[in-house]
Chain A
Amino acid sequence: MSAREILTAFLTIIQREVRRFTRIWPQTLLPPAVTMTLYFVIFGNLIGRRIGPMDGYDYMQFIVPGLIMMSVITSSYANVVSSFFSMKFQRSIEEILVSPTPNWVILIGYVAGGMCRGLLVGIIVTLLSLAFTSFHMHSPLLVVSTALLTSFVFSLGGFINAMLATKFDDISIVPNFVLTPLTYLGGVFYSISLLSPFWQGVSMANPILYMVNAFRHGILGASDVAPQYALAMLVLFSVVLFGIAYHLLNRGKGIRQ
């Protein structure tokens, strides 16, 4: 395929993915908006007033970056894992496998589709948060790069999960038992400076902590982890997960006999 044909195939995959998640917007875009609004009202407003400032910021201001990241993470992951596994399950993945589209284009196409949903949900949640608090971005470049890399990493995670899954149960195990606990323990609702040194050390092994803190640093200008270190971790995760996802797709397990 020529470069132009490859670009057309890539844009076709993205267009198809965006069409899919916007068609079923009550399942894909509305739930995170409702959930995050509840978080803002209950944790930020009602309970947050009694908690007081965190790391020198109003509690609502403190949790907003984490909640935006949380919605980006879950939406990016969910989009790729559900879309790719459904295609595998009903064999419509064969439509693209019979075509000359190279595997790396299939991979980045689906990942870009997941990023579109993750970032769109992130924008929706950000706009909703403005109804509860106000902030100005400390570093827009850091905010954008963290959001892009995080959605890239979790879209790749969703792709790997979909490749390995053999039944629908398999696509809910990781979000329920890995992603959700790591997100809640990743410093969304608290600063790890509140923890004992031992638990601070344990928290440093949680990759989501770096993403939340880099994003928070981009918005507030303060965080538990140095942003350069967090970005380096994100790049490392991106490279490793891309390698694993590409290997699985080339091996074709579950999609080619």
Chain B
Amino acid sequence: MADDALSIQGLRKTYDGGFEALKGVDLRVAAGDFFALLGPNGAGKSTTLGILASLVRKTAGKVEVFGVDMDRDAARAKTFLGFVPQEFNFNQFEKVGDIVRTQAGYYGIPPRQAARNAEFYLRELGLWDKRESSARMLSGGMKRRLMIARALVHEPRLLVLDEPTAGVDIELRRSMWKFMERINEQGVTIILTTHYLEEAEALCRNIAIIDGGRILQHSSKRALLRQLSIENFVLDLKENPEALPSLEGYRCSWDEEGSLLLEVEKGRGLNSAFRQLDEQGLEVVSLRNRSNRLEELFLRLVEENARDQREATP
């Protein structure tokens, strides 16, 4: 459909050694979406993105970018797409400015326009001062931003990022989130893979979870999170009792830092827990929500998939 930024049907990939990385992936990403493709290592995320970027040849299936079939008009489909790979893949000895301008040239953008675009995105990503520096002199975070500037220099409508914030410190990660949100607001569809699930929860509207070369879940973040039936809370007590408190209607345990971990079923309040703790003479000094909700769902789905596969194996 033309309203889709990306449409993937029956995508399969078997590598030369016989490893079947994708076993029939179907995926649709709406234009303007901020989409996360999540999965454990070896799930098929990078293979899927590699096929989009034309760096991996598919074995079967159909890929359309903004309605353009990659088999029929790969050149046109490629102009819509900007790709940020997981690994640094630029010439370390080239100057930062040259890398970005050259990339624009590969898309047929004339030199003057290429220079303007390169300046715009290098400034946006805080690399303009480094334009005359050799790429090898940049820090890890700067190299990641350089790859984003390079992917955007031809002004694609779909930006695909394979773990863009891996190995980036928290401050920089947050600034990259803001940048990605801003370009998404400007109309660029974004697809990312990430190991930081809080990143997907904070940024993305729709999520697909892939494992073993198959899509396990594909829906909105809100619908996915609704599936969670339990929330975890961490309670710091003024003094820990010798025995684990017993709270009717809740499951309790100690977490790794010695705080009380409370599992609360969806829809159940916390008032009863506080009353019971008070009756047992235990004072709560602080309360916080534990971990990332998406992470729990992700782990549950991946574990279920692994169990299903074990059971299916004779």
Beta-carbon contact of B75 and A102 below 8 Å? yes
Q: Tell whether, in the assembled complex, residue A98 and residue B83 are in contact, meaning their CB atoms are under 8 Å apart.
A: yes
Task: Find chain B residues with CB under 8 A from A206 CB.
Answer: none
In the complex, which residues of chain B have a beta carbon less than 8 angstroms from the beta carbon of A98?
A: 53-55, 78, 81, 83
Q: Which of A8, A16, A19, A90 contacts B108 (CB 8 A)?
A: A8
Any A CB within 8 A of the CB of B145: no
- The stretch that binds A, out of B4-12, B97-105, B232-240, is B97-105
Does B90 lie within 8 Å of A92, measured CB to CB?
yes
Residues of B within 8 A of A1 (CB): 75, 108
The verdict on A256 contacting chain B, using a C-beta distance below 8 Å, is: yes
Closest to A257 in B: B56
List residues of chain B with CB within 8 A of the CB of A256. Answer: 54-57
Given contacts A1-B108, A100-B74, contact A94 B98 (CB under 8 A): no
Contacts of A196 in B (CB 8 A): none
Residues of B within 8 Å of A86, CB to CB, are 91
Closest approach, in angstroms, between the C-beta of B46 and any C-beta of chain A?
10
B 74-106 to A, binary, CB cutoff 8 A, 1 in contact else 0? 111011010101010111110000110011011
Q: CA of A44 to CA of B53 in the docked complex: distance in angstroms?
A: 55
B103–A99 CB distance below 8 A: yes
Q: Work out how many contacts link A and B, with CB atoms closer than 8 A.
A: 87
Nearest A residue to B89, CB-CB: A91
Asked if A200 is at the interface (CB within 8 A of a chain B CB), the reply is no
- Is A9 close to B, CB under 8 A? yes
**Bound Cα distance from A5 to B55, whole angstroms:** 22
Measured CA separation A9–B105 after assembly (Å): 5
Name which residue of chain A comes closest to B111, CB basis. A8
A19 proximity list for chain B (CB < 8 A): 98
- Please count how many residues in chain A sit with their CB below 8 Å of the partner chain's CB atoms: 31
Q: How distant is the Cα of A152 from the Cα of B120 in the complex, in angstroms?
A: 38
Asked if A137 is at the interface (CB within 8 A of a chain B CB), the reply is: no
Q: In the complex, what distance in Å separates the CA atom of A90 from the CA atom of B74?
A: 25
A212 to B105, CA, bound (A): 37
**A1, A4, A86 pick with most chain B CB within 10 angstroms:** A1
Q: How large is the interface on B (under 10, 10 to 19, 20 to 34, 35 or more residues)?
A: 20 to 34
A95 near B107: Cβ-Cβ < 8 Å: no
A205 at the interface (CB under 8 A from B): no
Chain A, range 242-257, C-beta contacts under 8 Å to B: 252, 256-257
Residues from chain B with Cβ under 8 Å of A2 in the complex:
108
Instruction: Indicate if the CB atoms of A5 and B108 lie closer than 8 Å.
Output: yes
Q: Which residues of B contact A220 (CB under 8 A)?
A: none
Which of A1-54 touch B at CB < 8 Å? Answer: 1-2, 4-6, 8-9, 11-13, 15-16, 19, 23
Known contacts A8-B108, A9-B105, A19-B98, A94 near B89 by CB under 8 Å: yes
Judge whether A203 is part of the interface by a CB distance below 8 angstroms: no
Say whether B40 faces chain A, with CB atoms less than 8 Å apart. no
Cα A257 to Cα B46 in complex, Å, equals 12
Are A99 and B78 in touch, CB under 8 angstroms? yes
The residue from A23, A87, A95 contacting B103, defined by CB atoms under 8 A apart: A95
B106: contacting residue among A90, A96, A252, A257, CB under 8 A: A96
Please tell me if the beta carbons of B50 and A257 are within 8 angstroms of each other in the complex.
yes
Complex Cα–Cα for A100 and B15 (A): 24
Min C-beta distance of B159 to chain A, whole Å: 12
Q: How distant is the Cα of A23 from the Cα of B93 in the complex, in angstroms?
A: 10
Q: Which of A1, A100, A257 has most B Cβ within 10 Å? A: A100
B residues bordering A, Cβ < 8 Å? 15, 50, 53-57, 74-76, 78-79, 81, 83, 85, 87, 89-93, 98-99, 102-103, 105-111, 150, 154
- Beyond A19-B98, A94-B53, A99-B107, 6 extra complex contacts between A and B, CB < 8 Å: A9-B106, A12-B102, A94-B85, A95-B90, A95-B106, A98-B83
Listed in ascending order, the chain A residues whose CB lies under 8 Å from chain B are 1-2, 4-6, 8-9, 11-13, 15-16, 19, 23, 86-87, 90-92, 94-102, 252, 256-257
| 26 intermolecular pairs with C-beta atoms under 8 Å apart | A1-B108, A8-B110, A12-B105, A15-B105, A16-B102, A90-B91, A90-B92, A91-B87, A92-B91, A94-B89, A95-B90, A95-B99, A95-B150, A96-B106, A97-B53, A97-B54, A97-B55, A98-B53, A98-B55, A98-B83, A99-B106, A100-B76, A100-B108, A252-B57, A257-B15, A257-B50
